[in-house]
Amino acid sequence: MLVRNAVLGHIVLNVADLKKSERFYQSVLGLKISARNRQTRMTFLSYGREHHDIALQALPRGAKHDGSGMGKLHHFCIYVERNEIIDRIYPMLKRRKIPIVSGPETLVVAGNRSISFLDPDGNRVEIACNANKFKYDHRKRAAGRRRKPGDWISPRQSPAKRRAGFNRLGRGHHVD
């Protein structure tokens, strides 16, 4: 195997209605908008440790999903630390009339609690409890860094590049 000890970096989803998807991911998953790029019609959303965990790319004008309830992506999963979080999500999804695909349930194979539902474009979102993910995570250390919005510059860059506003993807990749 060529790739080992890897973690998921981010997900970029094609969306039919950028504003509607922004509201969904903010209100249902608790993500915050970290940046927008009007030129490319993208919105970047984050839990706060990375520049973005999920990015939303508006479909070209006039294009739309096929409406089958199954986007091009089968599903993506977001881990939470406690089973109770899964059980609290269920009534909120029902109140908002968000289509639930499965759960809440305890998965036999993995042994973790899970719920799956559809976003506005039919992409399946799974939220699952995986306490082990948090046990070995460096969340406290990462939270102590106290980054400010727009402070997403790689520590390996020269001070001159940092002052000039370069991020690790090049100048102006994530602009408002």
- Stretch among 15-19, 109-113, 135-139 having the lowest mean pLDDT: 135-139
Q: What is the dihedral of CA 130, 10, 116, 120, to 10 degrees?
A: 160
Under the banding of pLDDT at 50, 70 and 90, the label for residue 75 is confident
pTM, 2 dp:
0.60
**Domain residue spans in the chain?**
9-60, 67-137
| Architecture of the CATH domain 67-137 | Roll (3.10)
| Architecture of the CATH domain 9-60 | Roll (3.10)
Which has more confidence, 139 or 95? 95
Query: pLDDT by residue (tens digit) across 129-174?
Result: 876 665 554 445 545 544 444 444 444 444 554 444 444 433 333 3
